[in-house]
Amino acid sequence: MIKQHELTGTNGSDIKFHNLRAVLLALLQQKTISRVRLARLTGLSNTTITHLVNELLAEGIIEEIGAEESPTAPTVGRPPTALRLIPTARYAVGVHFGVGSVRVAVTDLLAQPLLTLSLEHPLERPAEEVLEDTLALVRSAIAESGIRPTALVGVGVGASGLVDLERGVNLFAPNLGWRDVPLRDWFADALGVPVWVDNNVRAMALAESMFGQEDHRTEALAFVYARIGVGAGLVVNGKLYHGSVAGAGEIGHTTLLGTGGEPCRCGNVGCLETLFSEPVIVRCAQALAEQAPDGLLAMTLREGQGPLIERVFAAAEQGDSATRAMLAERAHYMGIALANLVNVLNPDLIVLGGLFVQGRRWLMPAAEATMRARAFAGLGERVRLEITQFGPNVGVIGAAALALNSFFYQAT
């Protein structure tokens, strides 16, 4: 179901921002739209629309692009002039903290990356040194992209683990060993621009709901990212759902095994992450390879190119049936976690990223079949399951979306 309530404006000068927000969101969602249709969609009067549109035209945020292409029947007489956002009117910087890697992008107003840069670091490197390097990367990205400094909305930071949203502090990142890292102040003090910090997977969910395909604007969307860690970002009624202390979506640490589970880095045992994640899949593959040292998998792990996880997928691609069965078995655990997520949130759409982008063919069928079979009373059959179309850039696009979100919601 397409969400419309955010597009509903109210007339009155004291709530101009609310109306501006409704117009900007309508422009974002409709790509091109006439004044008449803007008025219809937002419920605002023609006078209010004229006023707001003139203001946006004067600020160089939107442009007129000739006649509107009618989505319905052809109109009688001269077709109305269409308006659209100018993608290069504003820019944002997205900073994605992964496990042992940082990716930075400069994006336009529609979250399209103009340029991405990345660095890798050993996990034992102190947070402060990683931040120094990241800051240099952000400065290079801004300089290389050649954007006007005045057009920069700000910097969005997708952090690993738990975040204090008010202070912009990365409270706890178990996969990095970070505690109380003041990300917002660090970047804001050094760059002198507004900075927004949120959990990195939650940022990805925001990007899917704001900048993904049109049918991503649903009542409830979950983005599930699985790589070294596993997490979910939830968008409910068009807004990120954070929970009480911004801990919502930690599905990687839901307990899947009641007894006999492996210890998890979070201190619990039998968590999803101990059953499905990149390190677990690589470990399972290595165990398989030991059983058949002359087999295809063992050979690919020994002699193949690139990260080990890619060699595992390559062995599956080349027809190694034991590898395929192992991947399906691992994906089955993810499917159980997805079924639990479906039962709690009842989403219209779940978008998967990370391992699922590369390993789609070997992970999706088992994860999907388990989710649909195990969810309650047919809820699992109705939910749409997709792989992110942002590919490996979903982290930086998500981080940039944190900054762009402020433009669309608190536009001046």
Site residues (vs Zn ion, CB under 5 A): 253, 264, 266, 268, 271
Closest contact distance (angstroms) between CB of 85 and Zn ion is 41
Closest contact distance (angstroms) between CB of 327 and Zn ion is 22
Inter-CA distances, 365 with 162, 224, 232, Å: 31, 16, 20
Q: Which residues pair with 241 in a beta bridge?
A: 234
Beta strand segments in 166-324, E: 169-173, 178-181, 195-199, 220-226, 230-236, 239-241
Q: Nearer to Zn ion by C-beta: 30 or 274?
A: 274
Closest contact distance (angstroms) between CB of 82 and Zn ion is 50
> Which residue matches tokens 């990370």?
354
Inter-CA distances, 206 with 173, 221, 324, Å: 20, 9, 33
Closest contact distance (angstroms) between CB of 281 and Zn ion is 17
Q: Which residues contact 81 (CB under 8 A, 6 or more apart)?
A: 34, 35, 64, 65, 66, 67, 68
| Distance between CA atoms of residues 107 and 186, nearest Å | 21
- Whether the CB-CB separation of 230 and 252 falls below 8 Å is answered with yes
Amino acid found at 162:
L
Question: Which token pair is 216?
Answer: 């991503």
Q: Nearer to Zn ion by C-beta: 118 or 268?
A: 268
Closest contact distance (angstroms) between CB of 277 and Zn ion is 10
Closest contact distance (angstroms) between CB of 270 and Zn ion is 8
Where helices occur in 226-354 by DSSP H, the ranges are 278-291, 296-303, 308-317, 321-345
DSSP string across 336-352? HHHHHHHHHH--SEEEE
Closest contact distance (angstroms) between CB of 159 and Zn ion is 18
